[in-house]
Amino acid sequence: MQLRRRIMLILLLAMALLVTALGTMGWLGEQRWAQRYNEALLQGQRIAWDKLQNENLDRQDALARRLLEDPAFHNLQAPGAAQRIDRLLANAMRQAPGLRIDILGPGGALVSTTEPAFDPQPLAEYGWVKAAMEGAAGVVRGLSQVAPREYAWVVVHGFEGGALAIGQDVSRRLPELASYLGGEIFLVNMRGKETLGTQPGSLAATGAVVPVRSPQTLILAVDARSGASDNRTDGALQLISQPVVNPDKRVVGALVWMQDVSAQHRSDRFFNLAAAGGALLFAALIVMGLAAYMQHAMEPLTRSVGVLKALASGATDASLDDGEEEAEDESGAIARGVVAIRSELLNLETLRQERIRTRHQQERLIRDQLRSLAESLDPTSRDEILAALGTRTEAPVAPLAEALPQSSTNQLAELAGILGRMSGLVSTQQSRLLKLLRELQAAVQTQAMLASLQQELEIARQMQLSILPRSAPDVGEVDIAATMIPAKEVGGDFYDYFPIDDEHLAVVVADVSGKGVPAAFFMAISRTLLKSNALFLRVPGPTIAALNDQLCAENDQMMFVTVFYGVLHLRSGRLTYVNAGHNPPVWLREGKASYLERGSNMALAVMEGQEYVEGEIVLSPGETLLLYTDGVTEANNAEGTLFGETALLDAMEAVGADPVHKGHAGGVPQRVVQAVRTFEAGAAQADDITVVAITYQGVRS
C-alpha cells in the first residue's frame, strides 16, 4: 500500500475514532437523561397507584369499622345472628355498591358473603385472617388476586370469633388511574399475561413480554395504519411496568401503563437522522480536503520512488529532476538519499561477486558431508536425500540486475533444509516406534476400563430392574401385566402399582427426559418420592403437586419427567388420574380403542407451585387401560417414519379382537412390543419402551 494511502487511512481512522467517541459521549448522555425520565415516569405511576389504592382502602376500612360496631359480630353463634348480619351486609351493599363483603371464620372458611357466584373464593387468605385476629392493629389491607383474572383491594378486620373482609374490584377504578396518567392501564399476572385493563386485549396484541418482578420501561415500535388509504406510518408505544404486592409482600402481578409516544418517537428519529447526515457531510468535506492536500504534497516523493525502482532493476542511469535534491523539506532529504544509493550500487557489485565465490566453496563442502550422512539412513530415506542433493547445481554468477531477486533462493538455505529433512527422518523413525508402544499401552488400559465400565453398567441395570414390581398386586378386581425395555443399559422410564388401602390401587407410568445413567438416577428419586407422597396424601392431584415441588427444589441438571398417575377404586372401577405431560393412555372397551384426553398439565420439575387438574373415568368389567411411554409411539423404522398413535390404536383393537387376550391383561404388553418390533424391521431402538396393561375384572365375591 502506498504511503499516501496509509496516511489517508490513518487520518480517516483517527477521524472515525473521534466521531465515535463524540457519538458515544452523546449517546451516554442521552441514556442518562432517558434513565432519569423513566425513573420519573415510574415514580409518578407509583404515586398515582398508591394514592388510588389508599383512597379505596381507607373507604373500605371506614365501612368495616362501622359494620363491626353492630353487636351481631360479637357472637356469631347467638340465635338470629346470621339473619342480622345478612340484613346488615345487604344494607351496606346498598350504601356502597360495587363492593364485596365476606364474613370469615377463625380458620379462614367463608361464613357469609355478598358475592352471588356459585362457589366464590374467600377474599382473604388464612394467614391474613389470623394476622387480623391476633395482631395488635387488628387489620390487614392490600391488593389480592382473588381469581386468575380478578384483582381486588381487600381490608380484613378481626373480631372475636372471625374476621370481616371488604373487597373492591380493581377493574372498576382503573379508568380513574388511566384518566389521571393518560394512556391505558393494565394488570398482568405472574406470567406477564394481560388479565384486565382499561382497553382489554390491546396490551396482548402488542406481543410484548412484560417484566413482573422488577420495575422497567419499554419502547415498542409498531406499524399504525391511517384510514382506508392504507398509508403506513411508524409509531411507538411506551410501557411502564412495576410489580404490585399483596399484604404478605409477595408479588402477585405487575401494573402496566401504556401510552402512545409515536410523535416523540418520530421526532427523535428525525433528529438522529439529521445529526447523522450532518456528521457524514462534514466528514466527507474533510476527507476531500485531505485528499487534495496529500496529492500535492506526495508528488516529489512519488518521483523519488520511481527512481529507486529503476535502480533496483539495474538501471543505474535513472536520475531525479535538476534541483530536487536541493529542497529543504523531507522530499529533498529523500532525493539526496537516492543519489547516495546510486553511487554505492557499483561498489556493492564487486563485494557480491566475492561473496558468491566463497559461498560456492561452502556449498560443495556441505554437499559432500550430507552425502556421507545419508548412507546411514534406511534405503527409502537415503534415496530421497541423495535425489535431493543430486538435483542441486551451482548457480553462475549473475549480474547486478539479477542478484537481488536470487537472494531469496540462497542454496545454503536449501542445503540447511535438506539437513533438517535428514534430522526429521531420523526423528520420525524413532517417534514411530515410541508411538506404537504408547498406543499399545493405551489400548490395554482402554480395554480394561471398558470391561470394568460394562460390568458396572450391568450391575446398575440389574439394580434398576430390581426396584420395579416383580408380580401383579394381590387383588382380584384387576389383572395387571407390564414390561420395560431400556434403550441403553439403564433407562429413564419406570412404572409401579401398589395398594393405598384395601379399596384403592395406585398405578403410575413415567418417563424422565434423556437416557442413560443421569435419567436412571432421576427416575429412582422420582419413584421414591412419588410412592411416599401417594401413601400420605392418597389423592392424585395433591400427590403430583407435592412431587413437582420436591423435584424442582434440587434440579440443578434441569431434567424433567412426564407422569401418568391414577388411583383405581377396586369396588366401582372408578379411576381418578393426573396426566402431567405424559402420553394419553389407550382405553379398550367393547373391542374399540380410544385415547383419554391429554389435558393441559405441565411436566414435573419444570416450574414449582403448579396445580394439577384431575381426570376421572369408570372402567367396566373386561375393559383394559394401556399405559405406555413415548418409546412406543416414537419408534421409527429405517426410513425414519414414526410408529405413531394410529398404529397403537390398531394394535390394541387387534388385541381386543383376539379371544386369547379378551378380558385379560396378560400378554398385552408383549403384543404391543411385538407390533413395534415388526414396524421397526430391525432398526435400532431409539428410546426406552414401557408398557403397562390394566384390565378391570369387577368385584370378586
Give the Cβ contact number of residue 341 at 10 Å: 14
Quote the radius of gyration of the chain (alpha carbons, Å): 44
Give ∠ CA 587-592-595 in degrees, rounded to 5. Answer: 35
Q: DSSP of 256-323, one letter per residue? A: EEEEE-HHHHHHHHHHHHHHHHHHHHHHHHHHHHHHHHHHHHTHHHHHHHHHHHHHHTT-TT--PPTT
Q: What is the pLDDT of residues 623-632, one digit of tens each?
A: 999 999 999 9
What's the CA gap between 649 and 642, in Å, rounded? 14
SS (H, E, C) 50-84: HHHHHHHHHHHHHHHHHHHCCHHHHCCCCCCHHHH
What's the CA gap between 631 and 43, in Å, rounded? 55
Domain boundaries, the chain: 173-224+231-260, 309-466, 467-696
pLDDT for position 405: 43
Q: What is the pLDDT of residues 547-565, one digit of tens each?
A: 999 999 877 778 899 999 9
pLDDT for position 407: 47
pLDDT for position 153: 93
With cell 506526495, the residue in question is 298
CA 355 from centroid of its chain's CA atoms: 71
- For the purposes of burial, counting CB atoms within 10 Å of the CB of 182, is it exposed (0-12), middle (13-18) or buried (19 or more)? exposed
Choose among 356, 173, 183: nearest CA to 260: 183
- Segment 236-241 long-range contacts (CB within 8 Å, at least 24 positions apart): 236/260, 236/261, 236/262, 236/264, 236/265, 237/206, 237/261, 238/41, 239/203, 239/206, 239/208, 239/210, 240/38, 240/41, 240/42, 240/45, 241/188, 241/210, 241/211, 241/212, 241/215, 241/216, 241/217
Q: Which CATH number fits domain 467-696: 3.10.129.10, 3.40.50.2300, 3.40.50.720, 3.60.40.10?
A: 3.60.40.10
> Which grid coordinates are listed for 570?
377396586
**Segments in the chain below pLDDT 50:** 225-232, 392-395, 397, 400-401, 403-405, 407-408
pLDDT for position 225: 44
> Which grid coordinates are listed for 75?
357472637
586-589 vs 504-512, strand pairing mode: unpaired
Q: Which CATH number fits domain 173-224+231-260: 3.30.920.30, 3.40.50.300, 3.40.50.1010, 3.30.450.20?
A: 3.30.450.20
281 φψ region: left (φ > 0), alpha (ψ -120 to 50), beta (else): alpha
For 431-573, strand residue ranges (E) read 478-485, 493-501, 504-512, 561-569
For 437-520, strand residue ranges (E) read 478-485, 493-501, 504-512
pLDDT for position 260: 86
With cell 499399545, the residue in question is 440
> Which grid coordinates are listed for 394?
551451482
> Which grid coordinates are listed for 391?
538435483
**Which residues are CB-neighbours of 249 under 8 A, at least 6 positions away?**
none
- Do the domains 467-696 and 173-224+231-260 match in fold? no
